[in-house]
């Protein structure tokens, strides 16, 4: 097995974005969730990107690749001393100036406030054996602070997307600006190094979205109505990460390698030692080449019961045709989990994976249906809105998840 780029012991965690907490902020609800994770025997809390979301509330089309969203603050009016702002400007000199020019006079003070609140939460979590996983979109949003401040790093004439496949006849037209990789190379990949530096200031580990774009990316002519007219263009390969590793040291990265993944993408991932991803909901189509199948999953990997883009486990189960349900039930019975309600049996199946890290969603722990789904790709409105009710994550739910974690050998020794 390839050597991992960072320590990834057999463990588990829960994905829940900050906005899905009852208050949607970094206040008491965030600390209470850490306490619940510790009670449940979990080692990881995964969130979505922390940048300012777009008008549809998507954190994946943020106004900044560096700045955090003031809307997450528990105390947005906390006093900030001038020397704190000066220190922030010194420490974050690579991006704070463009962000202040974009966001206005309160921008630096808000980032000081965020640094305080996030730092306190992260320290609290670490003391209870919980580490934080972040999410890094590969592209920046069109018209974002980064796009405006550094136009020389982006190409004109084409935008980002994904090619047609079995699910989307016209492909996916994302519209993000594409990187001018030769221009970035001439500058020593400085912008990307600073972006990764910022990411690892905030998180213990980060998932890089659309990792395959570093091998090859789908470029769609600007003005095209669909992504079908796009073409593959060569990405930078390992060079970005080698430059970052030379300056930052080990890169604790999870590579999002879902979708149509070619051998060069996997060779790059293994060369870098980055764990890849599998999703349990994709594991039952019978295709021998399907790397989401439990028996195909790698120890150097992360298995998800579902992601922010997929349905909840109960919602997914309800959507299955009878024949597909039979396939899933056969898998559950074969693993000895057939007597559970389907969603919980699927969680047990996912946690039994050989993959070092198993992640589930809070919605799955609670057995919630499709109304609790975080995002439906291709739908512009109605996403990113689901929130917990205060007290919804009970001690009984924590006890049940802890038992599952222990059963699958993921309960860390010496946990509080």
Q: Based on the number of CB atoms within 10 Å of its own CB, is 165 exposed (0-12), middle (13-18) or buried (19 or more)?
A: exposed
Sign of CA pseudo-dihedral 400, 333, 260, 315: negative
Residues acting as catalytic residues:
209, 256, 309
Cα separation, 305 vs 287, whole angstroms = 19
Cα separation, 208 vs 5, whole angstroms = 14
**CB-based contact 274:254 (threshold 8 Å):** yes
Q: Both tokens of residue 407?
A: 């059963």
SS3 of residue 201 by DSSP = helix
Q: In 104-188, which ranges are continuous DSSP H helix? A: 107-127, 145-149, 181-186
Under DSSP, the state recorded for 280 is G
What is the chain's alpha carbon radius of gyration, rounded to the nearest angstrom?
21
Cα separation, 168 vs 152, whole angstroms = 32
Cα separation, 144 vs 135, whole angstroms = 18
DSSP string, 338-365: TTS-HHHHHHHHHHTSSSSEEEEEHHHH
SS3 of residue 253 by DSSP = strand
**CB-based contact 272:214 (threshold 8 Å):** no
Q: In 203-291, which ranges are continuous DSSP H helix? A: 239-248, 263-272
80: phi then psi, degrees, rounded to nearest 5: -130, 125
Cα separation, 18 vs 210, whole angstroms = 22
Sign of CA pseudo-dihedral 284, 270, 406, 400: negative
């Amino acid at each position: 097995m390839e050597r991992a780029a960072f320590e990834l012991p057999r463990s588990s965690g829960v994905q829940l974005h900050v906005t899905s907490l009852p208050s949607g902020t970094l206040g008491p609800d965030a600390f209470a969730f850490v306490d619940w994770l510790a009670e449940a025997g979990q080692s990881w809390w995964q969130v979505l990107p922390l940048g300012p979301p777009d008008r549809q509330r998507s954190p994946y089309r943020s106004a900044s690749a560096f700045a955090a969203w003031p809307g997450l603050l528990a105390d947005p009016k906390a006093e900030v001393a001038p020397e704190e702002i000066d220190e922030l400007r010194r420490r974050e000199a690579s991006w704070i100036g463009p962000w202040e020019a974009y966001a206005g006079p309160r921008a630096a003070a808000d980032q000081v406030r965020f640094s305080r609140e996030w730092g306190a939460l992260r320290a609290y979590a670490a003391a209870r054996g919980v580490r934080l996983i972040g999410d890094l979109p590969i592209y920046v949003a069109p018209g974002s602070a980064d796009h405006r401040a550094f136009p020389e790093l982006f190409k004109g004439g084409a935008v980002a997307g994904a090619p047609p496949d079995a699910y989307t006849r016209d492909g996916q037209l994302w519209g993000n600006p594409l990187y001018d990789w030769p221009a970035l190379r001439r500058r020593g990949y400085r912008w990307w190094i600073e972006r990764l530096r910022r990411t690892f200031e905030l998180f213990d580990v980060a998932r890089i979205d659309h990792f395959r774009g570093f091998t090859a990316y789908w470029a769609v002519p600007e003005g095209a109505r669909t992504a079908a007219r796009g073409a593959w263009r060569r990405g930078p390969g390992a060079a970005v990460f080698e430059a970052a590793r030379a300056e930052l040291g080990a890169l604790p990265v999870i590579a999002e390698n879902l979708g149509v993944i070619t051998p060069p993408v996997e060779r790059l991932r293994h060369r870098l030692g980055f764990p890849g991803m599998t999703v349990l909901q994709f594991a039952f189509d019978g295709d021998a080449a399907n790397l989401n199948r439990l028996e195909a999953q790698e120890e150097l990997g992360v298995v998800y019961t579902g992601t922010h883009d997929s349905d909840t486990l109960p919602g997914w189960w309800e959507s299955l045709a009878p024949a597909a349900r039979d396939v899933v039930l056969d898998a559950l019975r074969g693993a000895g989990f057939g007597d559970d309600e389907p969603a919980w049996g699927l969680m047990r199946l996912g946690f039994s994976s050989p993959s070092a890290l198993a992640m589930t969603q809070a919605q799955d722990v609670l057995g919630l249906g499709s109304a609790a789904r975080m995002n439906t790709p291709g739908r512009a409105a109605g996403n990113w809105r689901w929130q917990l009710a205060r007290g919804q994550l009970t001690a009984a739910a924590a006890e049940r998840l802890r038992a599952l974690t222990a059963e699958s050998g993921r309960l860390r020794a010496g946990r509080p």
